[in-house]
Amino acid sequence: MSEMFSIKLPDGSVREVEAGTTPADIAAAIGPGLAKAALAARVNGEVRDLNRPLEGDAELQLITARDEADALELARHDYAHVLAEAVQNLFPGTQITFGPATEDGFYYDFAPKDRPFTEEDLPAIEEEMRRVIARDEPLVREVWARDDVRAFFESQGETFKAEWVMELPADETISMYRSGRWMDLCRGPHLASTGKLDPDAFRLTRVSGAYWRGDQKNAMLSRIYGTGWLNRKQLDAHLIRLEEAGKRDHRKIGQEMDLFHLQNEAQGSIFWHPKGFMIWRVLEAYVRRRQDEAGYTEVKTPQLLDAKLWEASGHWGKFRENMFVVPDEVPGTDPDKPVLAGTGNLMALKPMNCPAHIQVFRQGIRSYRDLPVRLVEFGALHRNEPHGALHGIMRVRQFTQDDGHIFCTDEQVESESIAFCELLGSVYRDLGFADFQVKLATRPEMRVGEDAVWDRAEANLEAALKATGLAYEILPGEGAFYGPKLEFHLRDAIGRTWQCGTLQLDYQMPDRLDASYVAEDGSKRRPVMLHRAILGTFERFIGILIEHHAGRFPLWLAPVQAVIATIVSDADDYAKEVLGLLTAAGIRAETDLRNEKINYKIREHSLAKVPNLLVLGKREAEQRMVALRPLGSDARQEVLPLEQLIERLKREATAPDLRG
């Protein structure tokens, strides 16, 4: 008699099935509609192939297109495999490496036989992908021995796959997926067949270079990116979002508004122009006021710190390749005196502020009565990002963070976490972001500290997060090397998400750098260290603001809040008087007295996203009136008395935290 398994379904019912039964069999038994709609299965919480036999008693959920997150992940993974098969069909001798799903699509890295791929190759590859989909080949999972996988790929000339498989643990189950005669090494899961993909719901988007395993010392590969969806309607909506994102590109708008520029002589650093730096100053002043009100103390710490401090903190071992390192003195030529870390010979530009803030905390004797201590710094940081990773002002090498650290007791973690989350939510709302998600990132593979300490840190941070009442999801393995963290992902005007704020719980660094306080019983104890940021990187956040508002900043953030434009030269003196009164009222204003037609001036200042154009002619000058023309094609011009206009702009230009 065959072995029987008990399979519990989401509605609470239980089915008794024979060993060897697949989720596809159960879907068919429930009904033909579900059998057709089912894409994969969640077995005891793990997403698996629909045709993979059940291995014992289990809870089973059948995944359909209604389970959009899971369905998209599966489809994008399959699009990547179809891409790899199509490329090898068209370009024999090309080696395959890896191709994961991404947030909006997928990519695959290839080692071409003859030449790197270019974007001119993409249309032909797309057509071949559609032919692969049309063949509707089953995607069949096979379990292989590691040595057999290596032998297979070596026989195919696939040196990259042969290298990778031998680095997998010897006891790990290794799965291969077959699509007709084509095979790839993959953990899965996959859809039942290539025909489950919509041939009209994907688009290949671009080609770039990528190093094998992300190491510049390794071979350069060709990476082909694509976007993939469940149906054509979703693809079209995504392409519209991309078009809108192009219009909102912070680099384009930054040039139009004269905010900043970038140049090769300062790779990864920004030249802020007066108008761009005005946004910075206003934003910094706002955040400073909010943090002052929340009980933070602002500090300023050195840019250069000795390598021995970075060794003690753990950054030297985990973060060294991203640090800019300089000799403390110009090294001599004596081979008996090499430059070594930890000897005082090397210093590094700080990539983060936390070790320096611990040094501030350690000055003097701290009592439990002093806690919590909340230190914050608008700290300039440097990280040696690869050239290919740099992107406008969103990804740079020199940047500033609203970086803070809270030193507290275990008992204070919950209240401090709640207070921080409330502050962060309030700041985001003031800046126009009402919608944000919270994610709990847990221990990564490369970390410092013992598992017992990580267990405690993750449990305490999750308990604090639950106390905030915020919904959250878990990101396994995405924590910092010294502790778990909360990530705050805000959503912009066109639906994109950006990870900005963070709250990280750290037991490691206070211990490594000997931070302590005197407890109520007189004993010496380590504080808990909460690393926190709201905006994250100023440069990146300003880029997000530019794209979110499409350059049309709220009046309080706009670099120029009003331009006074004259129609005739007879109004020039009145324009200068208006400028003086606006400036005295705290309004950032400029005049445009050029001998140009008013329509030309309107077009130019509209392109520069000036919120208010104050048009002055002879009549306005005589009557001490102002014609107000707000930014926007549907905005109507109003004629107002000068004093009334000034009061109105003054009220509208007040920062949210200063409004009555």
Predicted confidence (pLDDT) per residue in 99-134, tens digit? 899 888 999 999 999 899 999 999 999 999 999 999
Of 277, 498, 293, 269, give the one whose Cα is nearest residue 376: 293
Of 159, 134, 149, give the one whose Cα is nearest residue 82: 134
Q: Annotation-wise, does 408 bind a ligand? A: no
The tokens of 485 are what? 């963290």
Per cent of the chain over pLDDT 90 is: 69
Residue 370 DSSP SS3? helix
Q: What is the pLDDT of residue 72?
A: 94
Q: What is the pLDDT of residue 648?
A: 95
Which pLDDT band holds residue 544 (cuts at 50, 70, 90)? very high
Per-residue pLDDT at 634 exceeds 70: no
SS3 for 445-481 is CCCCCCHHHHHHHHHHHHHHHHHHCCCEEEECCCCEC
Predicted confidence (pLDDT) per residue in 258-272, tens digit? 999 999 999 999 999
Of 59, 51, 56, give the one whose Cα is nearest residue 5: 56
Of 198, 37, 49, give the one whose Cα is nearest residue 130: 198
Which pLDDT band holds residue 449 (cuts at 50, 70, 90)? confident
Which of 332-336, 480-484, 598-602 has the least mean pLDDT?
332-336
Predicted confidence (pLDDT) per residue in 208-252, tens digit? 998 898 777 889 999 999 999 999 999 999 999 888 888 999 999
Tell me the average pLDDT across 403-413: 94
Pairing of strands 398-408, 528-537: antiparallel
Per-residue pLDDT at 257 exceeds 70: yes
Q: Annotation-wise, does 354 bind a ligand? A: yes
How far apart are alpha carbons 108 and 122 in whole angstroms?
Answer: 13
Per cent of the chain over pLDDT 70 is: 97
Per-residue pLDDT at 415 exceeds 80: yes
Per-residue pLDDT at 653 exceeds 90: yes
Tell me which H or E stretch contains 651: helix 642-652
Side by side, the strands of the sheet bearing 638-641 are 589-592, 562-566, 612-616, 625-630, 638-641
How far apart are alpha carbons 45 and 474 in whole angstroms?
Answer: 14
Q: Write out the catalytic residue numbers.
A: 354, 383, 401, 403, 405, 485, 531
Q: Annotation-wise, does 405 bind a ligand? A: yes
Residue 97 DSSP SS3? coil
Q: What is the pLDDT of residue 652?
A: 94
Predicted confidence (pLDDT) per residue in 161-182, tens digit? 999 988 888 888 899 999 999 9
Q: What is the pLDDT of residue 317?
A: 82
Q: What is the pLDDT of residue 1?
A: 53
Q: What is the pLDDT of residue 445?
A: 81
Per-residue pLDDT at 576 exceeds 50: yes
Which pLDDT band holds residue 342 (cuts at 50, 70, 90)? very low
> How far from each other are the two terminal CA atoms of the chain, in whole angstroms?
79
Q: Distance of CA 499 to CAs 279, 496, 502, 538, 541, Å? A: 21, 10, 8, 13, 10
Q: What is the pLDDT of residue 213?
A: 84
Q: What is the pLDDT of residue 590?
A: 96
Of 478, 498, 491, 488, give the one whose Cα is nearest residue 533: 488
Q: What is the pLDDT of residue 330?
A: 58
Q: What is the pLDDT of residue 419?
A: 94
Domains and CATH numbers, the chain: 4-64 (3.10.20.30), 69-244 (3.30.980.10), 264-303+350-549 (3.30.930.10), 562-658 (3.40.50.800)
Q: What is the pLDDT of residue 361?
A: 97
Predicted confidence (pLDDT) per residue in 30-67, tens digit? 999 998 999 999 999 889 999 999 988 889 999 999 99
